[in-house]
Structure 1
Amino acid sequence: MSVNPPYRADIVGSFLRPEPLKAARADRAAGLIDDAGLREVEDAQIRDLVQKEADNGLALATDGEFRRSWWHFDFYGMLDGVDLVDLDHGIQFQGVQTKPKGLHLSAPLGFSETHPMLAHYRSLSATIAETTGAQPKFSIPAPTVLDFRLEPDHIDPRVYAGRDAYVDDLVQTYRDAIAAFYAAGCRYLQFDDTAWAYLCSEEEVLKARDRGIRTEGLAERYADILNRVLAGKPDDLVVTTHVCRGNFRSTWISSGGYEPIAEQLLGRVAYDGFFLEYDSDRAGGFEPLRFLPRGEQTVVLGLITSKSGELEDVDAVKKRIDEASAFAPLEQLALSPQCGFASTEEGNVLTEEEQWAKIREVVAISEDVWR
């Protein structure tokens, strides 16, 4: 098994919210408990989660995103200059739409040392140190998602004269975030990213164009932004990305193989690892993996779906790993669920036991393939 992240058996990060946590969040919303009361429940449930992650065979641990409502809006809304606003539309998944939330730039972008997720990471790290000693992993949304989701009429023209005007501040915001998480002890950080998956879909590209996004050269724009963010990061900090096709109540958004983005993402961006969703034929074949440079970067194959509780056929998963190794060396591959189990607090449609059975399947297959 790999001794450094990404691990041969890895995870994207989020887990189903336990009932005590759901109840506490509802009580906080109703004013029945205060922030300290909610935090006490969160701490206890995260401690229990960290132990379960170890008990089910993982060498790493996350906080399950238990302190968040959304995988992305919570982080963005805590940045300097970003407001969460109500829109007249949500994000359209297959048959369901999210809450109508969006982003608004009202002041210069920035990352403050008081950003609450730094405290979230420190708490996770301390909990792990007191219990299992696993590798802490923390996930934040990628800068590219902010750029892709920010609608042109939600950029205050008194602050930024259009989309290109904020790029330098966006890059610096994320460089400052990386430095702050590193100073807090983080050595395994993940950027969750839906933007690259949308660029695989002609339908989503058209939607972006309709929102006023200039889509020509967007993959090149994103590769440049990310490489500027990653330039000069500490050598002992692993930064990966998860390319997500949408994960809300077991539904999805984007279809299309990785071919339109592979040369820019896999061939250019200096991530240490790429978590790619491969749990359905919507993702296409493994041929785009040919753009992965030979070396130390890892592609983590998301072959185990997190959208249902039914376990995959083990031999079929092994066969697909073998098929992928025709385009990228086996030593540069790993395995994970295709996404988290609860990218929003609502969670996917499966039980907690089914969730952990999925994790055990990832671990068992990885131990067999890379033993």
Structure 2
Amino acid sequence: MAQRTQPPFRADHVGSLLRPRTLLDARAAAADGSLDAAELRAVEDAAIRDVVALQESIGLQSATDGEFRRTSWHMDFIYQLQGVRRTDEQLAVHFRNAAGDLDFSSAALIVDAPVGLDHVIFGEAFEFLKSTVTTATPKLTIPSPSMVHYRGGPAAIDRGVYPEEDEFWSDLSAAYAQEVEQLAALGCTYLQLDDTSLAYLNDPAQRAELAEKGADAEHQHERYIRQINAALANRPADLHVTTHLCRGNYRSSWAAEGGYDFVAEALFGELDVDGFFLEYDDERSGGFEPLRFVPPGKQVVLGLVTTKRPQLESKDDLKRRIDEAAKFVPLEQLCLSGQCGFSSTVEGNDLTLDEEIAKLRLIVETAAEVWG
């Protein structure tokens, strides 16, 4: 079976990578005022050149900047939208891992002015990445429109600005459509919309929590799918778009559980993307049966290699699971990746750089043996 020449690729990865110590030290120095913005930028540039070269040397056909310029995979983007701002309120998220519980808190958001876009968010970061790659396709990751809503919910939308929620959604999708158009104009041909909300909604506990707040938890995923489609409706033909769904990824911990059954029919049948990066590294993700709803022409990137633990999977186990998935969607529509990024936030997951590299090599080698 031939290697894919357009995204997503047979061997791919979600996007974020472990930050090197030099970058972490530079960020700390910038925070305490002993390093200025230009000096921090120079350290980031050097780290990104190194990590792009690493991805290409491993044999990956796509390369990201590791999200090295971000603190958070999503909030660094969301706070740059016009009309959205950080508040003093702290939003608490309960995470779990094999060792127990882990709580995370960050600033909440409020929509207190019309949502819009006044610059290409991450545009300069993409242009630098594009200038750095030599063999790989530069891939940019941004949070999906759903994350702006799921993060704060209806209560975060000022009713003086948006008396009707439909007006908020119209402006948000329009801002994203403008972002997509402008990224394409910069030469972006591989864009990924990261979305935890569509995975969280598979968890009955998450839906119950939303229902308690007055949300239509049974149909919220359908609204999200419509709004993402509106944002992508006019994208150019050479811009390949994927979405990544996971149940939380913070310091090797997760926030939600459950298979894709609840959202599968609408998600796979209606979301207008070229491929789905799906978390499938353990029993939290459920079985492969929901993949029966994936239509022809869509790729499924199986996130079988965990980024949460250092232990290296065996090729035989990965091949067996790929065979299991191929019972529900044809093998030619499948690809392989890690289940999530290695460092969705600046802290990173609990594994070393060498362990990260070993997992990326395993993905490339396994994909070559399965698909040729």
Deviation at 1:32, TM superposition (A): 0.4
Moved over 4 A (4+): none
CA distance in 2, matches of 1:332, 1:189: 19
1:171-210 map, 5 Å: 171-210=173-212
User: Identity of aligned pairs, percent?
Assistant: 47
CA shift digits 1:69-114 (9 cap, x unpaired): 0000000011111102232432111111223322111211112225
CA contact (8 A) 1:50 1:62 kept: yes
Cα 1:101–1:266 shift into 2, 3 Å: same
Q: Which residue of 2 aligns with 1:261?
A: 263
CA distance in 2, matches of 1:127, 1:10: 18
Letter in 1 for 2:132: T
CA distance in 2, matches of 1:263, 1:54: 36
Does residue 345 in structure 1 map to residue 346 in structure 2? yes
Q: Which residue of 2 aligns with 1:304?
A: 305
Deviation at 1:212, TM superposition (A): 4.1
Deviation at 1:164, TM superposition (A): 2.9
Q: Which residue of 2 aligns with 1:244?
A: 246
CA contact (8 A) 2:56 2:135 kept: no
CA distance in 2, matches of 1:52, 1:126: 16
SS in 1 for 2:92: coil
1:74-93 map, 5 Å: 74-93=76-95
CA contact (8 A) 1:5 1:188 kept: yes
CA RMSD of aligned residues (A): 1.2
CA distance in 1, matches of 2:21, 2:212: 40
CA contact (8 A) 2:299 2:333 kept: yes
CA distance in 1, matches of 2:295, 2:347: 38
Q: Which residue of 2 aligns with 1:369?
A: 370
**Matched positions, count:** 366
Q: Which residue of 1 aligns with 2:165?
A: 163
CA shift digits 1:171-193 (9 cap, x unpaired): 10110010010011100000000
Q: More deviation in 218-227 or 329-338?
A: 218-227
With structure 1 as the length reference, what TM-score do the two structures score? 0.96
SS in 1 for 2:127: helix
Q: Which residue of 1 aligns with 2:148?
A: 146
CA distance in 2, matches of 1:218, 1:151: 11
> Which sections of structure 1, spanning at least 5 residues, go unmatched?
none
> Which sections of structure 2, spanning at least 5 residues, go unmatched?
none
CA shift digits 1:231-289 (9 cap, x unpaired): 12111100000001100000001111111101011011111000000000111111100
Deviation at 1:207, TM superposition (A): 2.0
Deviation at 1:156, TM superposition (A): 1.8
CA shift digits 1:200-256 (9 cap, x unpaired): 100111222334433131122112112212212111100000001100000001111
CA contact (8 A) 2:177 2:234 kept: no
CA distance in 2, matches of 1:212, 1:183: 40
CA contact (8 A) 2:268 2:294 kept: yes
CA contact (8 A) 2:243 2:273 kept: yes
Does residue 105 in structure 1 map to residue 111 in structure 2? yes
